[in-house]
Chains A and B, each alone.
Chain A
Amino acid sequence: MEYGLDLEYSFNEFLKGFGLSSEIAHIIWLPLPMLLVLVAAVVGVLVTVWLERKISAAAQQRIGPEYAGALGVLQPIADGLKLLVKEDIIPAKADGILFTAGPILVLVPVILSWLIVPFGQNLLISNVGIGIFLWIALSSIQPIGLLMSGYASNNKYSLLGGLRAAAQSISYEIPLALSVLAIVLMTNSLSTIDIVNQQSNAGILSWNIWRQPVGFIVFWICALAECERLPFDLPEAEEELVAGYQTEYAGMKFALFYLGSYINLILSALLVSILYLGGWGFPIPVELIAKFLNLPINAPFIQVFTASIGIVMTVLKAYLLVFIAILLRWTTPRVRIDQLLDLGWKFLLPISLANLLITAGLKLAFPQFFGG
C-alpha cells in the first residue's frame, strides 16, 4: 500500500543535495509539518467561528456579521484581535499560578492530538502505532485543566462549571472509547492510516458508517459532549452558571479556552470522518477512476491530484459534520445535568458495550466483511 506523496523523503533528499547530513535535514524538516498543522487548525477555527455566526444568524432569521470583509469573513479575525489587545485580568483573590495554567492545560492536549490526524497516505505529522489511543489518552487530560481553572477562579459558578465539566467528560469518555474499540477490532490496528485504508477498497460502500451505524451515533453524541457543545454545554450554561469555568477569564486567557473548544470541535469532526466516513477517500475509489481513464496511478501528476483530492475530501467531510454540530447547537434545547448523566451512563454505555460485543461476534461470523 506504499504509494502517494512522501514529502518528507523528497524534502530530505532536496536538503542532502546541498550537502547537509540526513540528521540535520531531519531536524529542519521536523517543525514544518507541526507548524503547518497548527496554522491549519487556527485557520479552521476562524472558518468555524464565521460559520457559527452566519449559521446561527440564519437559524434566527438575522443577517449576521456583514461589514468586516465580504459577507463578514474577517469578523473572526476582528474578534481575535480584540481579545489579543484586551487587558489580562487576574482576580485579586484568585490563585495566580493555577489560574494561568488552567487554559494552557485545556489547549495543549487538543493541539497535540492533531499529531494523528491524516489528510492522506503520508500527509500526517506522525504515524504512531498507538494512533487513535493517543487521542483518547490526551483528551482525558483536559478535565484537569477545567477543574484547575474552575478552582483557581475563586468563584462558585466557576467551581460548579469545572466540576460539571469533569463529570461530563469522565462519563462520556467511556462510551467514546468503546465505540472506537469496535472500529479498532475491525481494523486490527490502532493507527489512523490503517483505519482509513481499511475503508478504502470499495469507495463509499466500504465506509465504516454502514458497518458501525450504532457506533457512529454513539461516537458523535459523545464527541459533542466532550466538546461541550449544546445540547451538552452544561459546564458553561449561561442561564445557570454565568459562563461556568470561564466566568473570571478575560483577554488572551479567555481566547485560549475559545480556541481550545473550537479546535476540539474540528478535531472531533475530523476524527468522525476518519473513523466512520472513509477519511481522505473519495466516494468512488480514485484508483478505479484512474483505471477507467487509462491513467497510470504512480505518475507524479496523478499523485499530486489524488493527494489534493484527499485533503479536500477530509476537510469537506469534517466541515459537513461541523455544520451539523452548529445546526444542532442553535436548534436544540439544553439537557439537564441529571438527564445528561442518565444518557451517558444508562443509555450510551450499555449500547456501546452491546455494539462492541456484536461487532466481535460479527467479526467471527463474517471475517471478510468485518476484518478477519
Chain B
Amino acid sequence: MSIAITTQLICFTVLSLVVIIGALGVVLLESIVYSAFLLGGVFMSVAGLYLLLNASFVAAAQVLVYVGAVNVLIIFAIMLVNKKEDLKPINDIKSRRVISTSICLTLLSLLIRVDVTNVWSLSSPKNSIGEESTIRIGEHLFSDYLLPFEVASVLLLMAMIGAIVLARRDVMSKDISTGLPVDQELIEKSSEPLLTNKN
C-alpha cells in the first residue's frame, strides 16, 4: 500500500468518526450551545470528506455557506436569546425516546440496505476532473441546472421577505399571529432614540 493511499484511509476514518460522533453529540447533548458548536465541527468534517473526493470547490463552498453563514447565524441567534431557563420536565420522556430511537434505527437500516443492494457505478480516479470542477460547476449552473438555481434564489428571497415581515411588525396594521390591531404607539416609543429625551 502506498503512502498516499494510507494517508487517505487515515483521513477518511478520522473524518467519518468525527462526523458520526459529532452528529450524535448535536442530538444528544443537553447544552444547546455545545450542540451548535458541534454542528460546526460536523460541517467542517463533511467539507473534509469532499476534499478527499477531489471536490475542492464544493468543500470550500461547504465551509463558506454552512460553517461561515448557517452555523454562525445559529450560534448568533442562540447567544442573542441567551436565557437560562429550566425546561418543564416531560412526563412520558422515556417512551418518546424509545419511539424516536426506533424510527431513527429504521431509517438507518433502510439506508444501509440501499447502500448494500445498490450497484454503485464508481468512476475511476483517472476520469476525475479535479481542479477543473469549478469551471464544470459553473457551466452546469448556467445551462441544464439554470432553473433549479434560479428557483433556489427565489426561495431565498421569500425567506428574506418573511424575516423582514417578522422583524418589522410596525409596518403591519394587524398582528400576524393574533389578528388584533397593532398598538403603533407602543412600537414607536420603543424604537425612539435614547438620547433625545435627555434635554
Contact = CB atoms under 8 A, between A and B. Distances in A.
Contacts of A162: 79
Residue with the highest number of chain A CB atoms closer than 10 Å, among B63, B67, B68: B68
Contacts of B2: 23
A71 interface: no
Interface stretch (A49-57, A127-135, A283-291, A329-337): A127-135
A173 interface: yes
B76 A129 contact: no
Q: Which secondary structure characterizes the binding site on chain A? A: helix
A129 B56 contact: yes
Interface string A36-77: 000000000000000000000000000000000000000000
Given A130-B134, A133-B57, A141 B79 contact: no
A147 interface: yes
Contacts of B3: 23, 27
Contact of B64 (A128, A136, A150, A151): A136
B91 interface: no
Contact of B75 (A128, A133, A147, A173): A147
Contacts, number: 75
A190 interface: yes
A141 B131 contact: no
B75 A144 contact: yes
A151 B33 contact: yes
Given A23-B2, A170-B72, A173-B68, A138 B63 contact: yes
A167 B37 CA distance: 17
A148 B37 contact: yes
A166 B60 contact: no
A144 B71 contact: yes
A58 B132 CA distance: 51
A129 B79 contact: no
B80 interface: yes
Contacts of A147: 72, 75-76, 79
B40 interface: yes
B56 A151 contact: no
A115 B68 CA distance: 19
Nearest to A128: B56
B82 interface: yes
Contacts of A5: none
Nearest to A170: B72
Interface string B48-83: 000000001100110110011101110110011010
Interface string A78-108: 0000000000000000000010000000000
B68 A151 contact: no
Residue with the highest number of chain A CB atoms closer than 10 Å, among B71, B75, B130: B75
Nearest to B33: A151
B60 A130 contact: yes
A170 B70 CA distance: 11
Contacts of A163: 76, 79-80
Residue with the highest number of chain A CB atoms closer than 10 Å, among B2, B40, B44: B40
A98 B57 CA distance: 30
A130 B69 CA distance: 19
Contacts of A133: 57, 60, 64
A344 to B, nearest CB: 15
30 contacts: A23-B2, A23-B4, A98-B37, A128-B56, A129-B130, A130-B56, A130-B60, A133-B64, A134-B60, A136-B64, A137-B61, A137-B64, A138-B63, A140-B63, A140-B64, A140-B68, A140-B69, A143-B68, A144-B40, A144-B71, A144-B75, A147-B72, A147-B75, A150-B79, A159-B82, A163-B80, A166-B72, A166-B76, A170-B69, A190-B134
Interface of B: 2-4, 33, 37, 40, 44, 56-57, 60-61, 63-64, 67-69, 71-73, 75-76, 79-80, 82, 130-132, 134
Query: Which are the 3 A-B pairs with shortest beta-carbon distances?
Result: A140-B68, A129-B131, A137-B60
